[in-house]
Structure 1
C-alpha cells in the first residue's frame, strides 16, 4: 500500500521545527512517518534522511514544506530529485510551491514543467545564499577598515616585552631567546612585534 512520508530539516539544534511539523501533520501524515534532521543542508549525508530513503517504495509520496528543506546545494538537490522520482519512483509534494507536485500532469509536459521550476528555484536559492555570504564578507571588510576588531582581544604584552624587543632589534638576542624571555612561541613573538611596531614605531 502506498504511504505518505514527511521530511523536516532545520539547520541547527536550537532552531524550531514546529511550523514544518504542523504543516506536515495537516497532510494527515502520522508522526512515525515524519523524519527530521537538525543539521546543515549542504549535502544529503543526514541520518534521518537516509533512514527515510530506505523506507520509500514506488508510488509513495514525500512531502516537504519548501525546497530548501530538502537541501541547500543546487546540484545536490537536482540529483536527489532525480533519485527520488526516477530511481525510487516516488512522488514529491512541495507544500509552498504547488507546481512542484509530481502527482499532477504525469505526461511529458507536466514532468518538464516540474523539472524546470525545480531548477529555477534551486538556482535562485543557491544564488541568494552566495549573495548573503558575499555581503557578509564585504561588511566584515568594511568594518575592519573602520577599525572594528573581530575575535578575542590579544593578551596584554609582558612587562619586559619592550626591553626584550629592544635587545632583539639590536641583534643582541635571537628570536628563540626573545620568545623564551617573553614566554611566547617564536611565531607569537614575531606577530606581537608587528603589532608593537604599529603602536610604537
Structure 2
C-alpha cells in the first residue's frame, strides 16, 4: 500500500508547527506527519528528514506546506527534487502546486511528441527538449525564491542590528551574571544541606550521586556557593 507522509519543519521550538500540520491534514487526512525542529538550510543535516528519505518507496507521496520546508538552498533543493522524481516518489507542495511532480511528469508526457521517422524529427526533438527544460526551470525558480527569502531575512536582520547599534541600543543578552535556573537553585540548596563542606555528612561523590548532577556542574555550583559565602 502506498504511503503518504506530511513533512513539517520549523527552525526553532518557539515557532508554531501546527499551521503546517493543519494545512496538510485538511487535504490528506491519512498522511503520516513527520515533524522536525531544525534550523539551517542543509537537508542532509536534518535527522527526521533523513529517516523519511531513506524509507520512502516508489509510489509513496511526501506533502509539504511549501517548497521552503523541503529546502531553502536552490541547488540542493533541485537536486533532491530530481532524485526523488527519478525514484518515482510523488512530491506535493500545497503553496506551489505548479511544481508538484505530477505536474512535471504530465508536462514531459504531453510534450514527448513521438518521432515520425522523417526530417521533421529534428524539430520535434528540439520541441521535446524545450518543454522538459521549461518544466525544470519552473522548479528551479521556486527553489530560487525560497533561497532568496532566507537571504533577504538575513540581510534585514543584519541591517536591523546595525541600526540598533547606531542608535545606542544593546544587542544580545544584557551584561552581568547569568540568570539562575530553578534546577541550579535546587541543586545548590541540596549541596549546602548534604555536603560536608557546608555542615552536612556526605562527601562530594556521594552528593553528586544523590542530587544527580555531573562532576563539572557539581564543582561549578560549589565554586559559586563558596564565592557567595566569601562576598557575604
1:46–1:148 distance in 2 versus 1, CA, 3 Å: same
- Counterpart of 2:139? 118
- Find the aligned partners of 2:47 and 2:20 in 1 and give their Cα distance: 18
Moved more, 122-131 or 22-31: 22-31
1:59–1:152 distance in 2 versus 1, CA, 3 Å: closer
1:49–1:97 distance in 2 versus 1, CA, 3 Å: same
**How far is 1:97 from its partner?**
1.6
TM-score by length of 2: 0.58
Q: Tell me if the contact between 2:59 and 2:88 (Cα under 8 Å) persists in the aligned partners.
A: yes
- Counterpart of 1:85? 85
- Find the aligned partners of 2:91 and 2:132 in 1 and give their Cα distance: 12
- Counterpart of 1:107? 108
TM-score by length of 1: 0.66
CA-to-aligned-CA distance 1:55-74 (integer Å, 9 cap, x gap): 21112221111001112222
Of 155, 171, 182, which residue of structure 2 is paired with 1:150? Answer: 171
**How far is 1:114 from its partner?**
4.2
Moved more, 91-100 or 140-149: 140-149
- Find the aligned partners of 2:39 and 2:173 in 1 and give their Cα distance: 26
- Find the aligned partners of 1:16 and 1:151 in 2 and give their Cα distance: 23
Greater helix fraction, Structure 1 or Structure 2: 2
Q: What secondary structure is seen at the aligned counterpart in 2 of 1:99?
A: helix
CA-to-aligned-CA distance 1:138-174 (integer Å, 9 cap, x gap): 232233233333345556xxxxxxxxxxxxxxxxxxx
Q: What secondary structure is seen at the aligned counterpart in 1 of 2:35?
A: strand
Q: Tell me if the contact between 1:99 and 1:114 (Cα under 8 Å) persists in the aligned partners.
A: no
- Counterpart of 1:133? 154
Q: Tell me if the contact between 1:41 and 1:73 (Cα under 8 Å) persists in the aligned partners.
A: no
- Counterpart of 2:188? none
Instruction: Give the ranges of 4+ consecutive aligned residues of structure 1 lying more than 6 Å apart after TM superposition.
Output: none
Query: 1:1-201 alignment to 2 at 5 Å?
Result: 1-30=1-30, 33-44=32-43, 45-86=45-86, 88-104=87-103, 105=106, 107=108, 109=111, 112-151=133-172
RMSD: 2.3
Q: What secondary structure is seen at the aligned counterpart in 1 of 2:97?
A: coil
Gaps of 5+ in 1: 156-201
